[in-house]
């Protein structure tokens, strides 16, 4: 019987509201560790109160063997988005450099 090893990858997907719904305009790969991914997402600026008026939305996604699952959602302003991109980049850089040691 072949072993079924689950390989999880984590992403933060950036969405913008359009007249026809939300459109993805960016995606950050944030690693294979659930705890690290959640820790990064928890640092992001914005609100968990997402509604039809939310213009920008960030989704923490887990993909297991290619099948995506939405874990958390955050709504943010354009200013928050700029800060969030800095946070994600800084944290991912830190984690990548720690993995080398």
In a domain, 1, yes or no: no
pLDDT 10s digits, 22-44: 999 999 999 999 999 999 999 99
pLDDT in the model for residue 73: 96
pTM, entire model: 0.87
Q: Please say if the pLDDT value at position 101 is more than 50.
A: no
Q: What is the DSSP string of the chain?
A: -------EEEEEEEEEEETTEEEEEEEEEEES-HHHHHHHHHH--SBS---TT--EEEEEEEEETTEEEEEEEEEE-HHHHHHHHHHHHHHHHHHHHHHT-
Cα gap 37→24, rounded to integer Å: 19
pLDDT 10s digits, 50-60: 888 889 999 99
Q: Please say if the pLDDT value at position 1 is more than 70.
A: no
In a domain, 40, yes or no: yes
**Could you say which DSSP state residue 60 is in?**
E
State how many domains the chain has.
Answer: 1
In a domain, 2, yes or no: no
Range of the domain at 21: 8-99
* Number of Cβ within a 10 Å radius of residue 94: 12
């Amino acid at each position: 019987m072949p072993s079924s090893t689950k390989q999880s990858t984590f992403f933060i997907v950036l969405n913008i509201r359009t007249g026809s719904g939300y459109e993805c305009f960016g995606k950050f790969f944030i690693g294979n560790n659930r705890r690290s991914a959640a820790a990064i997402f928890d640092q992001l600026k914005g609100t968990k109160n997402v509604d039809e008026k939310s213009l920008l939305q960030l989704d923490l996604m887990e993909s297991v063997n290619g099948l995506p699952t939405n874990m958390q959602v955050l709504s943010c302003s354009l200013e928050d988005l700029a800060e969030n991109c800095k946070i994600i980049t800084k944290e991912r850089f830190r984690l990548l450099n720690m993995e080398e040691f």
